[in-house]
Amino acid sequence: MRMRKKKNLDVRFERCASVMVSDPRAVRGKWREKFGNDNPIRLEIGCGKGRFILETARRNPDINFVAIEKEEGALIMATEKAIAEELPNLRFLSFDAAALNEIFAPGEVSLIYLNFSDPWPPNRQRKRRLTWRAFLAVYDEILEEEGAIFFKTDNQRLFEWSLGELCQNGWLLQNISLDLHNSDYDNIMTEYEEKFSAQGYRIYRVEARKRIEKNLLK
């Protein structure tokens, strides 16, 4: 469901300028300079209203976080919360995930979170899924050597399809959970996750490590 357009967005975004990155291409290869430290950089693609990334940033002050959200109504809510909390290790931007290599240099990101991405259910729309091979190739480029994707969803079909896509493109799968909320994993919920879980949906999760060397795939 599309969110209603929020009022006075331009003015509200101006007030949040300190946590927004307005020209991310200019920061490519310089994200640690942007944060003013040499800490690892983690990325959430599709942060929604920010519940997950805010809590994750609170718990990990020695890690830098970049949150991406294209829906302006959700993005302004996340940035306003970040301003109120004054988290120095968190920045936000609006950008296309298919072009992340335009704003992050090779190996600049240590971890990517994909939380409850749009499943795009018709198969003809599969190229728009954030676990489609073209996106995986971009993630592979910007992730460091030991980098990983942490993927969560309530959609079983998307999860199964994503596992296949990851495997076919050389990613190592670890810590697969078919019922996350009945596991012992220390989980931070998103807004959607809380809603879907309350409705009785299972939550699926996997960690995918950066692609295996080509000679191991032969």
One-letter amino acid identity for 202? R
Active-site residue (options: 118, 179, 184, 186): 118
Radius of gyration over every alpha carbon of the chain, rounded to an integer in angstroms: 17
Q: How far apart are the first and last CA of the chain?
A: 44
Task: State how far the Cα of 12 lies from the Cα of 90, in Å rounded to an integer.
Answer: 18
- Pick out the residues of the known binding site: 44, 69, 96, 118, 154, 190-193
Of 206, 189, 204, nearest to 48 by C-alpha is 189
Sequence ranges of the binding site for substrate: 154, 190-193
What distance separates the 2 farthest-apart alpha carbons in the chain? 56
Backbone angles phi, psi at 179, to 5 degrees: -160, 75
Match 């994750």 to its residue by tokens.
56
Q: What are phi and psi of 58, to 5 degrees?
A: -60, -45
Instruction: Output the known binding site for S-adenosyl-L-methionine.
Output: 44, 69, 96, 118
10 is catalytic: no
Write out the catalytic residue numbers.
Answer: 118
